[in-house]
Amino acid sequence: MSGKTVPLKKFYTFLFVDCLYVSIRKEMETKNYAVYIILGYDVNGIKDILGIWIGESEGKHYWMQIFDEIKARGVENILFISMDGVSGLEEGAKSIFKDTVVQRCIVHLIRNSIKYLPSKDYKAYTAQLKKVYGTSSLKAAEAEFERFKQAWGSIRELSMSGFAAGHMWSSFSIMEALSERLCTRQMP
């Protein structure tokens, strides 16, 4: 990890962390590299790109180095982090920012849930799934999710592994966690 390092803010309310693969030409050879990106929102809603890093491949250990770097650049506290489902990434983030609430990225979760879905079912499936995410409370979401499970039966079994692991409800628990943290003034 090298390059220009700019001091960062002490506190971010929300970070989006992701990695994508791009083809990069280096010394007359083109190779796919992992490009790590962190986008943060401060308490005023101002967006900052905390950094862009390039690695050989995506992995928990490289993410931990990145989290170490942003801590060294001044970040002391992060309220929420949204990330994909890379194995060990959540534990890595929480080992450096202990009180952070981690949410599995809803876009990644839904994209993975429709991977095995026949294309003819896509519109109906996603329309009913939107009803779950469009609710205003955890109780309403659970009721809508029960209707969703009943409607999709065996297709659901293939595509719902992320939801079954409990990641679906994290988006609803974020508001609960935010209220709790605001009431106990755990934000700077």
Chain Cα centroid distance, residue 37? 12
Phi, psi (deg, nearest 5) at residue 21? -105, 135
Tens digits of per-residue pLDDT, 137-173? 778 888 888 888 788 765 555 455 455 445 555 555 5
Domain locations in the chain as residue ranges = 11-104, 107-168
Q: Which of 112, 143, 108, 138 is nearest to 128 (CA)?
A: 143
Whether 12 shows a pLDDT value over 90: the answer reads yes
Mean pLDDT score, 72-84:
91
- Long-range contacts: 90-99, Cβ < 8 Å, 24+? 91/60, 92/60, 92/61, 92/63, 92/64, 92/67, 93/17, 93/63, 93/67, 95/64, 96/64, 96/67, 96/68, 96/71, 97/67, 97/71, 99/186
Mean pLDDT score, 34-62:
90
Please report the pLDDT score of residue 122 as a whole number.
84
Which SS3 state, helix, strand or coil, does residue 111 take? helix
Please indicate, yes or no, whether the overall pTM of this predicted structure exceeds 0.75: no
Tens digits of per-residue pLDDT, 106-149? 777 777 777 777 888 888 888 888 888 788 877 888 888 888 87
Give the architecture-level CATH label for domain 11-104. 2-Layer Sandwich (3.30)
Percent of the chain with pLDDT over 90: 28
Q: Which of 106, 101, 78 is nearest to 18 (CA)?
A: 106
